[in-house]
Amino acid sequence: MGLLDKLKRKVETTLADSRLEEELIYKHILEEMDSGVLRDGLYAKAMANSNGDEAQAKSLYMKYRLQSVKDAMGGSSYLEYVEKLKLKEVNNIEAERLRIFNETNYKKKKVQMRPQKNENK
């Protein structure tokens, strides 16, 4: 097998991987849409470019969303991107738990610090 054949096989493998990754992204987009999650700006753009045709707008939205996901991936694979999203979600949940914990403790301390009224008067 010559160098050219090896290069051709590498390109074909890379393209196949890219198509599989794109399929996963489209699945992700469809799941977002089915759950009611839409990026308002992208959907508005899709509506503007579809002359109000809802079916065409959904199709365009999916194309625009595909590109926005690819942009957000920043050169990493889709699976790495999903892991980053999951990690970000876990961090957001932990931050919210910490906020609630701190808020609850602040309220407890505030109640404890109030001067108590003398009822013997």
pTM greater than 0.75 (yes/no): no
Residue 86 has pLDDT above 90, yes or no: no
Read off the pLDDT of residues 19-70 as tens digits, 9 standing for 90 and up.
889 999 999 999 999 999 999 999 999 999 999 899 999 999 999 999 999 9
Domain boundaries, the chain: 1-75, 78-114
Q: In sequence order, which residues have a C-beta less than 8 Å from that of residue 28 and are 6 or more positions away? A: 69, 78, 82
- Minimal CA–CA distance to 39: which of 62, 16, 7, 6? 62
Mean pLDDT of the chain: 85
Beta strands in the chain (DSSP E): none
